[in-house]
Amino acid sequence: MSADPGLVDTDRNTPTGSIPDLVAAFADGIDAEIDWTYGSEETLVGMLERGDLDLVAGGFTSDTPWMDRAGVTRGYPQIDGADGREIVMLVPLGENAFLSALERHLDEAVGAR
């Protein structure tokens, strides 16, 4: 999780906000346990590349410069607190099934454009 006012609040052990809620619901849907990690974008993307993380979320938009180092979801501007930004989440490169499942979940939870 990368903190972002309005989207992700990382003051407590378990993050709160619209994005953590979406991620938690997604994890529920695929019977996964969440182990939250906080960090800067670069740290998180590095961990994603090494396989230490499965999903990176926060204030990433579809203009994210991490495009080459991570699989990027479609943009979801309807997420609460997005303020018109096209919010995306990052997954490890090549995780096609996981990415598809995540996008499917987000389509249902917040609706596609």
Which stretches of the chain bind another protein, using CB under 8 A?
71-74, 91-97, 99-100, 103-104, 107, 112-113
Residue ranges of E strands in the chain: 71-72, 90-91
Q: Which is nearer to another protein, 16 or 96 (CB)?
A: 96
Q: What minimum distance in Å lies between the beta carbon of 99 and another protein?
A: 5
Q: Which is nearer to another protein, 57 or 91 (CB)?
A: 91
Q: What minimum distance in Å lies between the beta carbon of 80 and another protein?
A: 20
Q: Which is nearer to another protein, 21 or 95 (CB)?
A: 95
In angstroms, the CA 79 to CA 77 distance is 6
In angstroms, the CA 57 to CA 88 distance is 7
In angstroms, the CA 90 to CA 71 distance is 6
Phi, psi torsion values for 90, nearest 5 degrees: -115, 140
Q: Which is nearer to another protein, 30 or 112 (CB)?
A: 112
Q: What minimum distance in Å lies between the beta carbon of 37 and another protein?
A: 21
In angstroms, the CA 113 to CA 103 distance is 12
Q: What minimum distance in Å lies between the beta carbon of 15 and another protein?
A: 24
